[in-house]
Amino acid sequence: MTVNTVDSIAEFVTNGVTTNYPFYFKFLANEDLVVTYINPQGVSTQLVLGTNYTAHGAGNDDGGSIVTVAALAGPGQLVVSREMVAYQQTSLRNQGKFLAETHEDVFDRLTMLVQQGLAFARRALSRKPGKDFFDAENRNVSNLADPVALQDAVTRKWTQQYVGGLLQTGQGPANSAANILYTDSAGIPAVLQALVGNMIAGNLTVNVPGQFAEPADAMDWVRTKTIANGAKVTIKLADGVITLTRGTSLNHPQNSLIDLIGNVSAMASCQVAPVAGTTFDAFTCTSGCFGKIDGFRLSRPNKAGTGILALGADIARVGPNVEVDNFYYSYASRDGGRMQADDTVSRNAGDVGYWAYDGGRLGCKRAKAYDAIDVDSDLGYGFQAEYGGTLECEEAYATGCRKAGIAALAGGTVRAHNSNPSGNIGSGFLIRGASFIAMNGATPNNNGRWGVERESNGVVSGSYVGTGNTLGQQKPVALLVNENGVSAVASNTGATLGIGSNGPEGVVITVQGATALRAGSTGVGAVNFLQADAALSGQPVLVKARGADNIIDIELSPKNGHVRLPGYSAHADAPIVGCFEIMDTAGVIRRVAVIA
């Protein structure tokens, strides 16, 4: 048997679930252990062996464990220490047997007592080698007597009384804060005591549902306080299911110092769910800049409302351990609001998973959107920017969405480099209405419509590769371009470019305000047409009759007359009634007979 560790204390964090706490130092008897629990409020309690816990592994060189009768609430602290009574009761007689294990137990006990003394010494206020002061290692030193000698340490109370005495000497007796009036920001008189009493001057954790039933209640309470000295307030969501009966406002004059945190290491353990049948937005910021949201799954029984909304205000950070499920909008930045939601997840949205609207800016790099579908309204986009909204979704993934994986509509701007909108019911990308998407390195694959679907005056920038899209990689559209100094209409894909009209007047081309060419049809259902082909240098320009018929004439129709150029056919001899001249390819004038 040996004592192979120098430790005699083990510390653990409690979480309301764990009951087994293994440690790795040797102890000889269960009674040699002292187990102390510090609860989330900082209250310390010594647990009782057999009542609050059992001990296992006495005499084992590798240590043992303690098992609590009930899981201890967290976040708290559990301390297991070996604290032996400093005596040695083994008696070894002369000329007796040499009992090796008995001797080792004696030596082990002495070693443990030495370690126990060293452990106490390490916790004492000490002066490190080479230093001329005692180092408290950033811990408090309490229970000091009031100073007497000039070099004695002073306590906080003594200092406050001393400073108060100096102030009283200079200005008379100090007044009570309850008697000092001031005017608040709304112009309402109040006493200083109320202001001081409503301050949060140190870091604070507010527990839900431990202290408040739901986040809205916690935020209501925090709004009655002023957060001072840069203190941080954490609204801590416990594991389990937290039910929302109303929306949570994230507004506060110092909301950048407030975080809403669940379980960042096991997101699925912390579930947040509105009551079924409700339609409110779950978390909304309409002023200031809220700090951070992380560590829970937000899901709704019925598809409605917005999960996390920045409305004319900012949310500094969401995620990466946040998932929003079955809201009509999962994440939204609207009316100039801003939000950063990188690496988050949206599932089963109605209209849009990630939505930047009306000047809103939403960052969602590497985010994932699954199955945004509203069949009744024919909507469903994984990521969308519209009406001046800006969306940054580089390396994002969208799949199963009804209209498109990633979309820019009505003046929206999207930065989607290296994104992967694949397997959507609609197109991978959809660009419409003076919108813009940058998509270098994007891979829109296996979508139900186009890889990239562009309509009207939408603009696409960047190179991308897509395969397996039902209608093709890119929808052909006509573009207004400038080629060689000439304004032109061109196809974006090299496919046939069509210019058409369903009206009886056809298509008109004007030059300098005057009609230069009109293309029409002799009737609905026409099947033959005129084709004009450009030619290489030295070759004739071709004017062709083409269409469904095997032989198609070309008829030139001067006003009040016509000239008809027929396709070849054999005729019997007939009298010549006239002729017209044409030039052949050799430049020779030829006369062509006209017969009756």
Contact 280, 247 (CB under 8 A): yes
- Of 86-100, 410-424, 479-493, 562-576, least confident by mean pLDDT is 86-100
Q: Is pLDDT at 289 greater than 80 in this prediction?
A: yes
In the chain, the N- to C-terminal Cα span, in Å, equals 130
* Closest of 552, 514, 512, 513 to residue 531, by C-alpha: 552
Write out the H or E segment, with its range, that includes residue 591. strand 589-595
Structure tokens at 406: 């990633």
Given CA atoms 123, 126, 129, 131 in this order, what sign does their dihedral have?
A: positive
Q: How far is CA 107 from CA 420, 472, 528, in A?
A: 67, 82, 111
Q: Is pLDDT at 517 greater than 60 in this prediction?
A: yes
Q: Is pLDDT at 258 greater than 90 in this prediction?
A: yes
Sheet of 270-274, strands arranged across:
240-244, 270-274, 296-299, 322-325, 345-347, 368-370, 397-399, 420-421
Beta strands in 342-403 (DSSP E): 345-347, 352-357, 361-363, 368-370, 381-386, 390-392, 397-399
Structure tokens at 552: 């198609």
pLDDT for res 88: 61
pLDDT for res 2: 55
pLDDT digits (tens, 9 = 90+) for 57-94: 988 888 899 999 999 999 999 999 888 766 665 556 65
Task: For the chain, give the mean pLDDT.
Answer: 85
Contact 112, 26 (CB under 8 A): yes
pLDDT digits (tens, 9 = 90+) for 126-148: 666 666 667 767 777 777 888 88
Average pLDDT over residues 518-539: 84
Measure the CA–CA gap between 518 and 535, rounded to whole angstroms.
Answer: 23
Average pLDDT over residues 3-26: 86
Map out the domains of the chain as residue ranges: 9-89+101-122, 192-338, 349-487, 553-595
Contact 425, 448 (CB under 8 A): yes
